[in-house]
Structure 1
């Protein structure tokens, strides 16, 4: 798959085209946290307007930017995005960090809306929202539902590099504990998933909102919809908060750099967070998590037995799987 790179022509505003039906399907609240994003922000806003699914609103907050990010969004809110944008914490210039900023935005999501996480430096393809809405359409209202997918990785000029690797490690709560495969800028949640996250406050330390959502929906045995068709241009540059390593070697190297102490600290923290909310996950999941907690406090032999008993306690790829097993046993 290829995507046309953005040319060097000057950026010009795009207006919402005629013919869109703003009432077709459930409303979507796009959540966007800004931090010094002026370089790429207008392209992302263009791509919101270019969506073939137009029943959306934009909730945004600035997380203490020192550039023109807030001014750009306020101009968008007053003009091209008039009537469908709302600034959160408009009187604050406090930097609370990316995770807390998105949880704050989730607090303000209106009832009855799906929510879609957005990054300030990507570009959504026109079918981004429509694909997510369609995937979640048949999820029962009382079931937590989550959509996410692959991306077209690009350079900072939006020249395509490759499609992100296939999403393969989907084995329930244990694989979700070991690895986040839900890239935040592709995630859409239904109202039940958002309600679940709200009930599981305070949020877990150390991880971002996308991994927390993936853990919660997996623990509640909700519906996870994975899209193998990329629907965003995921810009890779030095300012990425996370980014997406484009090969198994780079992913393995990134995992190795974190080391066993950092990894197992996060792993244990996530486990504690889920067990703190036993009443919100399924009884079978609770029993499995409690057994995992006991095994982690035991000997290396007991931890090895856990790995044998629960093969879904793993990560994607041979090298990452090997690293995880070593860290689980000795970390």
Structure 2
């Protein structure tokens, strides 16, 4: 892969897996972007359909737009595959990186809106832009808008809830440099890890309440987006405390391995939380008094605290 991006080029990062049926609509939406300074970095994660062949055909048609990241080969999983792409973007010197999911359709202004908001943040600090999604069915018929991004965010709220849905996320150059050397836990998602790292390091979080993509809701979604608060609450209850707390523990431990890039207060907060997870109920209660360790509503915070105490 030989890439020489301009100083403001956005790397669109696309990990594909058995997505041939949906990819043409997504790729067409890249070409329709009002911000045209972009290049697609893609890798296939072991598809058994025509996905890789389709992507190479598009690459032959648009050689200045498409670049395949061929190594490492084989299935890396969602998080692992996106981290390969992120590291490739950072090594090539891209100014920004935007994650893409293979079954979405981007609105024409997506990259322009994201870059405009990122331009308001200091380039010297890591910055993460995220937005809402227009939820659609398999035929792109509108269902509604994803949940608002308002409410508690940043560190340590990022440990209790991820608001940065990957298919809307755009990172600046400083965020790429921060995240590229790290190793997220296998149990976590690439978008959550980026959100954790940027906010724990004191970076900028830029939230856009506009819907920027058409986000298909279908049986093949790796992660879906329940369209109402009751459905989101029910989905959380069905997942149960064990799954959530496993990811929570892994995220805390992984962040501690990156503690050198965090300030003293953040390192101390992580230490208090980590010790409480292996301590008594009283220690966990003390950890729950940490300011900002909440979710976006009283009900969700109560459920999080219950799981934290018992999981």
The answer to whether the 8 A contact 2:41-2:67 is kept is yes
| Deviation for aligned residue 1:91 | 8.8
Question: What's 2:64 paired with?
Answer: 83
SS at match of 2:225: coil
**1:123·1:232 contact (CA, 8 Å) conserved in 2?**
yes
Please point out which of 235, 244, 265 is paired with 1:254: 235
Match of 1:208 among 159, 174, 189: 189
**CA–CA distance in 2 between the matches of 1:290 and 1:306?**
10
Give the Cα separation in 2 of the matches to 1:240 and 1:249: 20
- Residues 1:266 and 2:257 are matched in the alignment: no
Partner of 2:98: 116
Where does residue 86 of structure 2 map in the other structure? 106
Cα pair 1:33 1:63 within 8 Å, conserved? yes
Q: Displacement of 1:32 after TM fit? A: 0.3
Hey, what's the Cα distance between the residues in 2 that align with 1:135 and 1:141?
12
Residue in structure 2 matching 1:172, options 134, 137, 154: 154
What are the equivalent positions in structure 2 for 1:1-331 lying under 5 Å apart?
A: 26-79=8-61, 81-89=62-70, 92=73, 94-109=74-89, 110-199=92-181, 201-307=182-288, 309-331=289-311
Structure 2: 5+ residue stretches without partners: none
1:302-327 C-alpha deviation (Å, 9 max, x unpaired): 322322x2242122234322221111
C-alpha separation between the residues in 1 aligned to 2:72 and 2:295? 43
Per-residue displacement from partner, 1:230-265 (whole Å, max 9, x unpaired)? 111111111011111111122112211222222111
Q: Is the 8 A contact 2:149 2:163 kept in 1?
A: yes
What secondary structure sits across from 2:138 in the alignment?
coil
Structure 2 residue aligned with 1:6: none
Distance 2:247 2:258 in 1: 17
**Per-residue displacement from partner, 1:46-100 (whole Å, max 9, x unpaired)?**
1000000000000001111111111211111111x221211111794x2221111
| Secondary structure of 2:294's aligned partner | coil
Computing the radius of gyration over CA atoms, which structure comes out larger, 1 or 2? Answer: 1
Do 2:154 and 2:205's aligned partners in 1 also have CA atoms closer than 8 Å? no
After superposition, the C-alpha distances for 1:194-216 in whole angstroms (9 at most, x for unaligned) are: 111123x2222201110000000
Aligned equivalents of 2:153 and 2:218: distance in 1? 31
Which deviates the most, 313-322 or 219-228? 313-322
TM score, norm. by length of structure 2: 0.93
On the 8 A contact 1:169/1:175 being kept in 2, the answer is no
State how far apart, in whole Å, the 1-side matches of 2:15 and 2:65 are: 16
Deviation larger for 144-153 or 104-113: 104-113
Q: 2:151 & 2:82 partners in 1: Cα distance?
A: 25
Gaps (5+ residues) in structure 1?
A: 1-21
Q: Give the Cα–Cα distance (whole angstroms) in 2 for the partners of residues 283 and 311 of structure 1.
A: 16
CA contact (8 A) 1:255 1:320 kept: no
Q: How far apart in 1 are the matches of 2:176 and 2:231?
A: 33
